[in-house]
């Protein structure tokens, strides 16, 4: 079998367009990953790399572009022999999720987003039915104020917890789920503000994913915040890749690649290479917490099934 020499990697920045990006956030580095082309007999796909454009919600750290970018590249690499070469381009500017979803719906600037299914936001997009964080995003530990653990020690039921006020992002699906379950929720458009609002007693607890809560606690402990010790709040909010519903070729490729990675163990190896995910798994195995399970949104999307192919 003849194999061509791999093309050189290119560093490429996608223009962000004239719209204003989120204030106060650093521009993320642009990254393109060009992978070698391996030709097999009888292959019928194009030899030019397809470009997959993704938003940059956070700046790279520790020399890595971030888990969601790496798992996307893993899925594309697993299907390189069957679908051809590719290039992942990360948008130069950090933009909001709402803007990224709109660009995806308009088939401009963005080809893939990664988020939890969110009725009203992800409607009309095609989810790829492989949970990128497995169940790690379904379990929540509460951030509270230091010295207030006693207020939560008496919580036995959801009704007990409903006497307290939650804080969450305005457009998050979490907010919709908690309100559907009868909780009072104080919202903010800016993630960073929620920690300050908790410290200022605007609300009583801030539910955080297992992979988020420990790093959040370390980062904002100076505000007088603590991790609640006894409770797990559980609701389905899995993260999926979403593509434009018209882009069936990319959607099928990503689903195939993710399932191949799950089957050969490379998906789990990548997930476990991130310290926050290893720490999240350890949290699940620590002393048992009281599990408070929330009802899903009616007609909404949690775990996908053949009867709910899109959101």
**DSSP 8-state code for residue 296:** P
Highest mean pLDDT among 18-22, 142-146, 294-298: 142-146
In a shared domain, residues 88 and 153: no
pLDDT in tens, 269-311: 999 999 999 999 888 888 789 999 999 998 655 544 433 444 4
Does 181 lie in the same domain as 287?
A: yes
Q: Are residues 108 and 149 in the same domain?
A: no
Contact 191, 171 (CB under 8 A): no
**Number of Cβ atoms within 10 Å of the Cβ of 22:** 16
Average pLDDT, the chain: 83
pLDDT digits (tens, 9 = 90+) for 210-257: 999 999 999 999 999 999 999 999 999 999 999 999 999 999 999 999
Q: Are 107 and 251 contained in the same domain? A: yes
Structural domain count, the chain: 2
pLDDT at 65: 80
Q: Which domain holds residue 178?
A: 139-235+282-293
Indicate whether 12 belongs to any domain. no
Is 115 inside a domain boundary? Answer: yes
User: What is the average pLDDT across 154-178?
Assistant: 96
Q: For residues 127 and 112, what is the distance between their CA atoms, to the nearest angstrom?
A: 10
Q: How far is Cα 72 from Cα 112, in angstroms, rounded to an integer?
A: 9
In this predicted model, which residue has the larger pLDDT, 89 or 309?
89
Question: How far apart are the C-alpha atoms of 163 and 205, rounded to whole Å?
Answer: 11
Bigger pLDDT: 308 or 206? 206
More confident residue, 275 or 5: 275
More confident: 96 or 74: 74
One domain for residues 44 and 115: yes
pLDDT value of residue 56:
82
Considering only 83-92, 98-107, 137-146, 291-300, which range has the smallest mean pLDDT? 291-300
* CB within 8 Å of 157: residues ≥ 6 apart: 292
299 in a structural domain:
no
CB-side neighbour CA atoms (13 Å) of 97: 19
186 in Cβ contact with 194 (< 8 Å): no
Whether 109 and 48 share a structural domain: yes
Q: Is residue 58 part of a domain?
A: yes
Residues 247 and 267 in one domain: yes
Annotate 175-223 with DSSP letters as a single string: HHHHHHTT--EEEESSHHHHHHHHHTTSSSBEEEEHHHHHHHHHHHGGG
Q: Is the pLDDT of residue 35 over 90?
A: no
What pLDDT score was predicted for residue 57?
63
Q: Angle at the Cα of 175 (from 170 to 178), degrees rounded to 5?
A: 155
Q: 89 to each of 48, 66, 101, 133, 199, how far by Cα in Å?
A: 15, 13, 16, 22, 38
Mean pLDDT of 128-151: 96
Instruction: Please answer whether residues 240 and 129 qualify as being in contact, where contact means their C-beta atoms are separated by less than 8 angstroms.
Output: yes
Same-domain check for residues 81 and 40:
yes
Q: Does residue 231 belong to any structural domain of this protein?
A: yes
The C-alpha atoms of residue 122 and residue 119 are separated, in whole angstroms, by 6
Distance CA 195, CA 206 (A): 8
Which residues make beta-bridge pairs with 87?
A: 34, 51
| Whether 227 and 245 share a structural domain | no
- My answer on whether 185 and 289 are in the same domain is yes
Residues 110 and 178 in one domain: no
Q: Cα(277)–Cα(69) distance, rounded to whole angstroms?
A: 15
Q: For residues 261 and 287, state if they share a domain.
A: no
Whether the Cβ atoms of residue 166 and residue 140 lie closer than 8 Å to each other = no
Residue 141 — very low, low, confident or very high, per pLDDT cuts 50/70/90?
very high
> Cβ neighbours of residue 286 under 8 Å, at least 6 residues apart?
none
Residue 59 in domain: yes
| Residue whose token pair is 């990675």 | 261
Confidence of residue 171 (pLDDT cuts 50, 70, 90): confident
Predicted pLDDT of residue 280: 92
Average pLDDT rounded to a whole number, residues 62-79: 91
For residues 94, 90, 261 and 296, what is the CA-based torsion angle, rounded to 10 degrees? 30
CATH number reported for the structural domain that contains residue 185 in this entry: 3.40.190.10
């Amino acid at each position: 079998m003849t194999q061509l020499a791999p093309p050189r990697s290119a560093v490429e920045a996608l223009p962000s367009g004239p719209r204003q990006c989120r204030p106060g956030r650093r521009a993320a580095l642009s990254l393109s990953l060009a992978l070698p082309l391996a030709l097999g007999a009888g292959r019928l796909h194009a030899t030019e790399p397809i470009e997959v454009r993704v938003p940059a919600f956070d700046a790279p750290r520790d020399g890595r572009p971030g888990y969601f970018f790496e798992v996307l590249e893993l899925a594309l690499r697993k299907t390189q022999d069957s679908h051809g070469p590719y290039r992942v381009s990360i948008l130069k500017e950090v933009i909001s999720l709402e803007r990224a979803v709109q660009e995806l719906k308009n088939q401009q600037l963005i080809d893939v987003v990664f988020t939890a299914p969110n009725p009203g936001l992800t409607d009309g997009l095609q989810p790829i039915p492989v949970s990128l964080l497995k169940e790690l995003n379904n379990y929540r530990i509460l951030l509270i104020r230091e010295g207030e653990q006693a207020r939560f020690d008496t919580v036995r039921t959801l009704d007990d917890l409903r006497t307290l006020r939650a804080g969450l992002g305005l457009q998050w699906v979490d907010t919709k789920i908690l309100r559907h379950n009868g909780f009072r929720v104080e919202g903010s458009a800016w993630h960073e503000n929620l920690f300050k609002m908790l410290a200022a007693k605007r609300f009583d607890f801030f539910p955080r994913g297992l992979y988020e809560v420990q790093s959040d606690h370390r980062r904002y402990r100076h505000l007088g915040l603590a991790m609640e010790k006894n409770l797990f709040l559980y609701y389905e909010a899995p993260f999926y890749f979403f593509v434009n519903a018209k882009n069936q070729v990319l959607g099928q490729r990503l689903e195939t690649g993710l399932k191949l990675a799950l089957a050969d163990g490379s998906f789990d190896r990548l997930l476990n290479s991130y310290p926050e995910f290893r720490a999240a798994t350890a949290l699940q195995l620590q002393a048992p917490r009281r599990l408070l399970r929330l009802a899903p949104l009616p007609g909404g999307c949690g775990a996908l099934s053949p009867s709910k192919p899109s959101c």
